[in-house]
Structure 1
Amino acid sequence: MGMDLDLDSNDLQCGNENPVDCEEDVDHGNEIGNRDTFECNDNIDKGPEIGMEFDSLQSAYSFYKNYAKNIGFAVATKASRRSKISRQFIDVKYACTRHGSKRESNAVNPRPCLKMDCKATLHIKRKQDGKWFVQNLIKDHNHELFPADSHFFPYHRRINSAKRHDISTLDDVGVKAIRSYVAVAKQHGGYENIGCLEKDFRNQLDKECRLALESGDANAMLEFFVHMQEENPNFFYALDLDEEHHLKNIFWVDAKGREDYREFGDVVSLDTTYITNKYKMPFTPFIGVNNHHQATLLGCALLANESTSTFTWLMKTWVRAMGGKLPSAIITDQDKAIKAAIKLVFPNSRHHYCLWHILRKIPEKLDYVLRKNEDFMGIFKKCIHKSWTKDQFEERWQAMVEKFDLIEDEWIQSLYEDREHWVPTYMKDTFFAGMSTTQRSESINSFLDKYVCRKTTLKEFLEKYEVALQDRQEAENLADFTTWHKTPALRTPSPFEKQMSMVYTHGVFKKFQIEVLGIFGCHLVKEKEDEKILTFKVLEIEKNEGFIVEWDASMEEISCICRSFEYNGFLCRHSLSTLHFLGLFNIPSRYIVKRWTKDVRTKYKKGSTCEEVQSKKQRRDILFQRAIELIEEGSMSHESYNIAHQALGDALKHCSSVNHSLKLSDEAAFGANEYHDL
């Protein structure tokens, strides 16, 4: 598996601050300097002259390099000398790359050799004041020069940081090597002005599409995957390799994540902004929400880049791991590459941008607005969160853009163009399990925060990842235990609160309970009535804000303009106030979302057979849950304690006997096979 480090091995620092006053030693074959910038840029076409001075070795080197490119030859460092005391370069000889004699070769297919004993050289020395001067010079060459073809010399070909950025940008929008090379050539006025060839672009693209791993990381990753599959055969992983079998992208999901997806895969968040390790590779987790409203990990990836092709591979691989089931809604950051990949892989899923990510970008994108207008954030949030209809949003957005002179702002324009992907009023018919809000608690960015940081190495990350999974499992086990064995305290006489305390998990019930408490701060007025629909206006007294609620008695359907049920999966205070006013004291079953109930997993826990429980970890987890139940019931009375204690003792003896028999059977089978082999 390949390993690429983004280092420039020829990028040498050349000291020039101290005078040289002692013995010298000789370094042969070192290439001194290779940067494109230079200080002395006069008379390049004329070339160097005896006695010409330069402020630094870098200036001299850059001058001669550019002169060579203009004339039509390439430069190599023939020899250099350092001071034995300061270890700084004090004497350098540059030569034409065709210097020296042609070597004889006995190879079947010898490599071409262009050596022609060319004498063209530049000999520079350092002065006491730190400056450099030309001591000797030979300009004449014994071969033809090719100024028009200088860009073909390997010496003159280099992809600097600016070109790397151009290549990466073009690759992000799907432009491949040959097309990106042509595009950059047009920008620079011709191929000869680029400074590299098409194959250099292709090599750079290949390099950009690989993971930058350190020695041992790939093996550590594979060992981790093998270990996880030994723990549970349902652990899934996939490696994306390039044509040279270098590692590009990695995806994995543990068995619990795959199981969770069966019940909680309706809404998924893909976070591409979470960078967790020192290599700056994007760690990309798929996050869901379980029935306790806890974040649950539905898959992980390490990606070499953030291009459309990479995200397409990731999403297709994830769907394959999840048995082909697609999510109803997916939440991501605002990103063109992700948007294109989702349109391709999840064409029927509702794509939503995370509001938290958008709001986080405002200080960066609109700093010039915030510095001048303290009221901007209040107006922006009111436009987003308090616009209950599309027309209301459009009106407020236009007023905001005009007030703060944002008509020409590109980011604001992009937000408006993508409004159907993030503005709540445009998403009112889609369930998002409460994940589309700006609340950071249990959000995608806090899932692994206490386990990793930016300097965490890949090996450390894998170790902490497993710890994080164990902690999350323990948190879920505790939530299960609390839900099944403790009754939540009721805070009102509301029949709605009592009804749902027996249905919802504690985590969701606490959120619903807030809505029940809010009923007492609402004032309801009937607006109108027709043959089917009753329309009410519910005023939240504290907020002094009115909400329209409609009730269809024939269908037993209720809807509020705030769309809380559609977003969160439980009724809002406005709808509850209306039901109470109408004399209905039980929430209709259609408004009790199964995924928030305490028994959502029952069919898996109680329906598991011995054949389905394949791994030791699965068996241990299931027995642990049953043991907790036994301990709870067995400790309630002295009689139940005696029963539980006796049952545990009998079970322990029986299990030990069975395991001992299985061990003897395995040893006998092994001995028979060994005899047969002999």
Structure 2
Amino acid sequence: MDTDIEHLDKECDKVGIDKEIDCDETIEEPIVGMSFSSVEEVRSYYMKYGKQKGFGVCKRNSRQDDDGNVRWICLACARGGTSKSKAANVMKPRQTEKIGCMARINARLNDEGGYTLSKVILDHTHVCSPGKARHFRCFKKVDARVAKRLEINDEAGIRLSKNFKAVVVEAGGYENVPFGEKECRNYIDKARQLRLGVGGSTALCNYFDDMQKRNPEFYYKIDVDNEMRLKNVFWADARNRAAYESFGDVITFDTTYLTNAYKMPFAPFVGVNHHGQSILFGCGLISNEDANTFEWLFESWLKCMNDQPPNAIITDQDKAMKIAISRVFPTSRHRFCLWHIMKKLPEKFGSHYQYEEIKNTLHKCVYDSFSEKEFEAHWGDMLDTYDLHENAWLVSLYSDRYFWVPAYVRDTFWAGMSITQRSEGMNAFFEDYVNTKTTLKQFVDQYDSALRRKVENEAIADFNSFNTKIPCITRYPLEKQFQKAYTIAKFKEVQEELRGLIYLTTTFLGCEGARYKWVVADEVQVSDNFLKRVNFTVEVDEDPLDVKCNCKLFEFRGILCRHALRILTQLGKDTIPSKYILDRWKKDVKRKYIFVKSSYDTSSIDDTRRYDRIQNAFYELCSNASKAESSCVKLISQIEQLKVQYPGIVDCDTSTTVDPVTSMEGTTGRVLSPLVVRSKGRPPTKRKVHPVEKSLKKSSTRRRLHRDEVEVPFY
């Protein structure tokens, strides 16, 4: 039955039934003997009549001869026939529109080649409502003009609910829209499927091949199993690769959050640019989260980046990642995500009767220890106080302390990234375009849209840094030096350090040769409403000018700390040595990647451009012809004639399908779509949650929402 209605809808589309039905036109009742020239005309007539009277229409039956010509056809009320309940519970039957209505018409092929009504039943066994007829499926149709707008809005990332509401507002109300939100959703789903023309991994391979043709610097690698089924894939475009030359000293890698319809974790390699924004260095989709898979992905990425490993890499606490990184990036400093570790506290100690005390003590041990010696002392006291020497989780954390404790990693430059908030932020960014139901063919299309937006955000930040400035908050000349050199985002960080000068007091300890030493007392906020007075040591060499602080903020974030700035201002220094103003944060440095045209910049579909050109040419013509009825009728007649000259054909030059095999090394045959996999990084949705964890979930979620563009605290 549903197939009949869909077939009828397609036939109605061909003859433009909706456009022909005029609410002011009166359709005469069908009678036996009425003649029509074709089956399409019979359908068109009965559809008009059904809409006028208020009932739906479907094709009940038909018969063809050996040549395929329709001998007779039966069109009936959509509420005819009977239905069998398919509900699993017979006590909860599903609703049905089938009530056995007998209203129908039969048409037979006559001697002239036309069709004559041979049987007509007008009486219905139900109430007909012309005002509600638009809700029947047979009358619901998304016209070409609205369909195009829906597609454009969908590509722009506008949610379908808002997309449909815009159509309703333009039409002047729901009653003027000949379709519903469900039809819009179905159309968009079909449009997404047809956008790339082919399915699954073939679409992915075709996309990669097309991107490589547009820009030879586009890189990708595909891993398949023995059955030629897609396992893992990695890709990076020319801009990603060029950006790595400028900002690839520190990267984050995370697979925790975003997946697609095949449950393949999305694995982005992310850095931070001169504005403190996340920047992509390539990404992958992987089928497993074991050491071998990570090793394949890391090796693919390293080869893409010309075998230049990063200085530092941040991941979550995953043993498989740790093993793979030690093999592929042996010279890179590896650090665990501090936030991922600390959020496990409710899971590990939520049932402990001293949970709150243990949590507060562990926080102080981690965040309040400013030296390795201090951390060791606090950690030992914690184990003794709560008798936790045998706790396996704490034992493993202590053995890995060089990978996550701030006191052990301050001497390495992390570009301000103390946790994997960059890769999490990139996941959150892509979530606007991609979700867990996204297929591979939809993924590659939406991926381009997301990257275009990311590039635009950076362009806006560049413009603002060159065309606006933030006023200085002090009279120190060195602040103006930072104001002139740094981007707005980084200058704000410098100003935050300058604001901290009011909390400092200094004590001169003396000098050894040309090296002077001070103790700078600072009030550090270590927890809510609690300030801790901490002494830092600042050493200064006069010639050449060199300043070092044991807080190591400059080594960690590349921003000179307030303690060093305090001493420099006390010494009357008007300028900062150039080595303390990093090129990485400067706004006037010409970076290679901004001149590289991305593959996705030119990935607009050619037929979309042609459609827009034709549509623009019609605007003025339609406006002029609509001023008089005669002109309107004449133009419509001419358009009907043009339809014959331009049928629905596909240009041979735009329908080429690429064999995905040409892009893989040592493989033959066609790549199959991946199997649905289960990744260990995402716990089951029905996992039991401790009450303590529930209470913490809301606050932790709020913090994660702002990680993409907001810099995290020092630790």
TM-score tier (shorter): 0.5 to 0.7
Equivalent residue letter for 1:571? L
Instruction: Tell me by how many angstroms 1:245 deviates.
Output: 2.9
1:75-98 Cα deviation digits (max 9, x unpaired): xxxxxxxxx99999xxxxxxxxxx
Q: Match of 2:356, SS?
A: coil
Aligned pair in 2 of structure 1 residues 363, 455: CA closer, same or farther (>3 Å)? farther
Counterpart for residue 515 of structure 1: 497
The AA in structure 2 aligned to 1:352 is R
Cα deviation digits, residues 189-245 of structure 1 (max 9, x gap): xxxxxxxxxxxxxxxxxxxxxxxxxx9321221232234334433221100123443
Matches within 5 A, 1:157-556: 216-369=199-352, 372-437=354-419, 443-541=425-523, 543=531, 544-556=533-545
Deviations 1:299-356 (A, max 9, x none): 1111111111111111111011111111000111111111111111111110111112
Task: Determine which of 530, 550, 553 is the counterpart of 1:561.
Answer: 550
- Could you tell me which amino acid in structure 2 is paired with residue 236 of structure 1? Y
What code does the residue aligned with 2:218 have? F
Larger relative contact order (Cα-Cα within 8 Å, sequence gap ≥ 6): 2
**For 2:255, what is the secondary structure of its paired residue?**
coil
Identity %: 44
* Residues 50-129 of structure 1: pairs in structure 2 closer than 5 A: none
Q: Distance in 2 between matches of 1:618 and 1:583?
A: 54
Measured after TM superposition, the shift of residue 559 of structure 1 is: 1.7
Which of 587, 599, 607 is residue 576 of structure 2 equivalent to?
A: 587
Cα distance in structure 1, aligned partners of 2:543 and 2:602: 48
* DSSP-derived class of the 2:478 partner: helix
AA in 2 matched with 1:389: S
Question: How far, CA to CA, are the matches of 2:423 and 2:509 in structure 1?
Answer: 38
CA distance in 2, matches of 1:87, 1:523: 77
Identify if the C-alpha distance between structure 1 residues 614 and 493 changes in structure 2 by more than 3 Å, giving closer, same or farther.
closer
What is the one-letter code of the residue matched to 2:572?
G
Contact 2:201–2:440 (CA under 8 A) maintained in structure 1:
no
Contact kept? 2:241, 2:304, Cα under 8 Å: yes
Cα RMSD after superposing both structures? 2.9
Report the TM-score when normalising by structure 2: 0.53
C-alpha separation in 1, matches of 2:600 and 2:85: 66
The CA deviation at 1:494 is 2.5
Report the CA distance between 1:518 and its aligned residue. 1.1
User: What's the secondary structure of 2:428's corresponding residue?
Assistant: coil
TM-score scaled to structure 1, two decimals? 0.56
- Any conservation in 2 of the 1:328–1:350 contact (CA below 8 Å)? yes
Deviation at 1:615, TM superposition (A): 6.9
Counterpart secondary structure, 1:368: coil
Shift of the 559–378 alpha-carbon distance from structure 1 to 2, 3 Å rule, reads farther
Question: What is the CA distance between 1:532 and its match in structure 2?
Answer: 3.9
Q: Which residue of 1 aligns with 2:564?
A: 575
> Can you list the C-alpha shifts for 1:339-376, whole angstroms capped at 9, x where unaligned?
1111111111101111122122222233234x633233
Letter in 1 for 2:577: P
Unaligned runs of 5+ in 1: 1-83, 89-214, 621-678
Q: Which AA in structure 1 matches 2:234?
A: F
2:119 match: none
Partners of 2:388 and 2:565 lie apart in 1 by 40
Change (3 A) 1:386 1:559: farther
The amino acid of 1:480's aligned partner reads D
SS of alignment partner, residue 406 of structure 1: coil
Residues 440 and 446 of structure 1 are in contact (CA less than 8 Å); yes or no, is this contact kept in structure 2? no
Amino acid at match of 1:521: Y
Structure 1 distance, partners of 2:521, 2:478, is 20
In structure 1, which of residues 596, 601, 605 is the aligned counterpart of residue 590 of structure 2?
Answer: 601
- C-alpha change, 1:360 and 1:277, in structure 2 (3 Å) is farther
CA distance in structure 2 between the partners assigned to 1:619 and 1:498 by the alignment:
43
CA distance, structure 2, for counterparts of residue 267 and residue 523 of structure 1: 34
Distance in 1 of aligned mates of 2:300 and 2:556? 28
Structure 1 residue 246: deviation in Å?
2.8
Kept in 2: contact 1:533–1:551 (CA 8 A): yes
Q: Secondary structure at the match of 2:355?
A: coil
Q: Counterpart in 1 of 2:708? A: none
Contact 2:485 2:587 in 1 (8 A): yes
SS at structure 1 position matched to 2:505: strand
